[in-house]
Amino acid sequence: MIRRLSALSALLASGCMAASTPPSASVSPMASPAFTTRDISTIAPVPDDWWRLFNDPQLDHLVQSSLAANADLRVAYAALDSARAAVRQADAARLPQPIIESSLGNDNPSGQPSAANVSASDYDVAATVSWDIDLFGRLRGAAMAARADADAQAAALDGVRVAVVSDTVLAYIDLCGATHNGRIAREIVAAQERNLKGVQEQFRAGELSPLEVSQAASLLATSRSTLPSFEAARDNARYRLATLQGLSPTDPGIAAMDCATMPRLRNAIPVGDDTALLLRRPDIREAERRLASATAGIGVARAELYPKVNLGGALGLLSGGFAATASPLVSWTFPNQAPARAKIAAAQAKERGALASWDAAVLRALREVENALTATQAEAKRNAALASATDEAALYARRTASRARLGDASPLLAIDAERTRAIARLAWAQSDLLLAQSYVALFRALGGGWQGAPQPLDPARPIG
């Protein structure tokens, strides 16, 4: 069986005091107060603005710009405004509804032979009041459901903020990676061009055969073939950054953006514990609020079993005289209550589905963090190994080149050593990119980045 998580149970109880008490949400008994211990992480709390751990002012500016102008955020904020308007509408439905009515008529008796040919005007004015007395909680439950839906929409907005922050940081990292890796590839190409030139000179001097020339030329052509992919990746990252900020992909400011070094965390990653994660992740809060809304819906459906009492009254000048009326209106679907009971059954099924969705969101969050921690740990170890391999490959290439110049080693061996060095350098650079990407995936799984975000710009603002 599953055990209760006290923090989440308290959170749910605070929002679900409707006519029906929701089931308790829970997590797997395997959940522990902290995530699996790893060398790269610490249980320190996750900072709200986690991207500042990279200590990159340009990245900080990009994130703030995306949070202020992203088009998806504007859509989510408009949806939240709509949900809040629905709350006001549901609250207003519980109050008396006054209506003022008036009419002006002109009676012309000229068409009637027996009447005097004198026109007369009739003016009526009245104020009517209708009040649905919510004896059985139907309107109260509807208002609670509307508030829970608005809270869920607010959590969904926070979820979009998490995605926007993560996508912005990831696009910037991809820009840095493409720039950094492209620079390394060009350095490799330049070194191999010098190597090919030296081999060709030795060939013309009769010291080498065409085999060595072809080997060096093939290695150079292979290295050159990687350059266009880095350029395309760099442009693609810029286009994504522009779109995330609500700008045209060809915006001059974004097109001129560059990145000198790959962002990297120098210290252990703060991940907190699983209880803080479940209270922070927007998708879990959204699922909890959907459950609260579904629970309130049961109370609304159950109220259909009982009479509806509406108190109405009118006061005013009617047909030339003062009149006042008041009468209660009672409506009750009885004895055929099968439709109402069917609604209750449907609402209860919806609640069970919402509870299952919440359980799934909790377990998914825990799994995503553990997966991200595992991937980051593995890539960090791989990166360290590739750094050592790159150093060894560079030493191997230098020693082989020296021996080849002295005639103690075949030129083919020197060319192969240079190829090994190029492969090691590019593999290490690619690992730097993958490691930085894994940082983003981890913080995205941790659900940080939505706290204190600015309100999006006016949704009427055009993109670009």
Pairing of strands 269-270, 41-42: parallel
| Confidence band of 22 (pLDDT split at 50, 70, 90) | very low
Sequence-distant (≥ 6) Cβ neighbours of residue 254 within 8 angstroms: 238, 239, 241, 242, 245, 247
**Can you tell me the mean pLDDT for 317-330?**
70
The larger pLDDT score, comparing residue 7 to residue 280, is at 280
The pLDDT, as a whole number, for residue 15 is: 37
Is the CB of residue 386 less than 8 Å from the CB of residue 427? Answer: yes
Identity of the highest mean pLDDT range in 92-96, 390-394, 454-458: 390-394
| Confidence band of 1 (pLDDT split at 50, 70, 90) | very low
Scored b (16 or more CB within 10 A) or e, 346-363 reads: ebbebbeebbebbbebbe
* Among 262, 192, 199, 138, residue whose Cα is nearest residue 412: 199
The pLDDT, as a whole number, for residue 300 is: 92
Predicted TM-score (pTM) of this structure: 0.81
Scored b (16 or more CB within 10 A) or e, 288-309 reads: bbbbbbbbbbbbbbbbbebebb
Q: How far is CA 173 from the centre of its chain?
A: 18
pLDDT tops 70 at residue 31: no
The pLDDT, as a whole number, for residue 377 is: 95
Give, as one character, the DSSP assignment of residue 364.
H
pLDDT tens digits, 363-375: 999 999 999 999 9
Give phi and psi for 388, each to the nearest 5. Answer: -65, -40
Tokens 């751990």 sit on residue: 53
| Confidence band of 427 (pLDDT split at 50, 70, 90) | very high
The pLDDT, as a whole number, for residue 131 is: 81
Cβ atoms within 10 A of the Cβ of 447, count? 24
Q: Six-digit token pair at 167?
A: 């996508």
The pLDDT, as a whole number, for residue 345 is: 95
The pLDDT, as a whole number, for residue 319 is: 59
Residue 162 to residue 170: CA distance in whole angstroms: 12
The pLDDT, as a whole number, for residue 320 is: 59
pLDDT tens digits, 379-424: 999 999 999 999 999 999 899 888 887 778 777 788 888 888 989 9
Cβ atoms within 10 A of the Cβ of 281, count? 27
Q: Which residues are 27's β-sheet partners?
A: 3
pLDDT tens digits, 267-278: 899 998 888 888
| Region of poorest pLDDT, from 116-120, 341-345, 347-351 | 116-120
pLDDT tops 50 at residue 9: no
The pLDDT, as a whole number, for residue 370 is: 94
| Confidence band of 117 (pLDDT split at 50, 70, 90) | low
Mean residue pLDDT of the chain comes to 83
The larger pLDDT score, comparing residue 457 to residue 87, is at 87
Tokens 């030296």 sit on residue: 198
| Region of poorest pLDDT, from 24-28, 87-91, 181-185 | 24-28
pLDDT tens digits, 168-178: 999 999 999 99
The pLDDT, as a whole number, for residue 393 is: 93
Is the CB of residue 156 less than 8 Å from the CB of residue 301? Answer: no
